[in-house]
Amino acid sequence: MKSLFIGIDPGKRGGISWIHWDAEKEEQELFAVKCPETYEEMWDTLNIATGAYDDNVADIHCTIEHVWAMPWDTPKTAFAFGSNFGAWLTCLEIMGVKYEYATPKKWQDYFNTPKLQKKERKRWLKETAHSHIPPENNQQKVTFNTADAILIAIYGKECLNKVIPKK
């Protein structure tokens, strides 16, 4: 059975990652890009992720990071963040992609993320994402923009794979 697992870090400095998983061969391809600049590019990127495997994929699942504005965010920042999050959800809904939310704590705990200052934690997450890139994807670059999305996709794949019925 082939499945597609998408991970979205919805921030402007976030990204989207997708894993094409072939359970029979136990092979996967992983792709990641930084968050597109416009809503149209978001749609196009999600369309590429889901459309590339339409004929060969039995299930498509998405895990999107469920975050919110912080009290210290400016109104402009909070509004922009909410708009980005809403745009991803709109694209997923229109495309009919099943999705679940994962808080940063939930998916980061899955990888045993240590308690570090933000800069050090981001570096640790980037290194962890890089260590999870399959050898056949050695060309996939991990950046600060894509690291969280990669880990969210892996989290979704590994957690959801336990509940997806095997054929």
Q: Which residues of 102-115 are buried (b: 16+ CB within 10 A; e: fewer)?
A: beeeebbebbebee
Domain edges within the chain: 2-160
pLDDT band at 58 (very low <50, low <70, confident <90, very high): low
pLDDT of residue 32 exceeding 80: yes
Q: Which position has the higher pLDDT, 44 or 70?
A: 44
Strand pairing category for 27-34 and 15-22 = antiparallel
CA 103/CA 36 separation, integer angstroms: 21
Backbone angles phi, psi at 119, to 5 degrees: -60, -45
Q: Is 4 helix (H, G, I), strand (E, B) or coil?
A: strand
Q: With 90 as the cut, is the pLDDT of residue 28 above it?
A: no
What's the pLDDT score for residue 79? 62
* Least confidently predicted of 3-17, 67-81, 94-108: 67-81
Averaged pLDDT score across all residues of the chain: 85
Report field, pTM of the whole predicted structure over 0.85: yes
Kindly report the CATH number that applies to the domain delimited by 2-160: 3.30.420.10
Q: Identify the pLDDT of residue 69.
A: 67
pLDDT digits (tens, 9 = 90+) for 141-156: 899 999 999 999 999 9
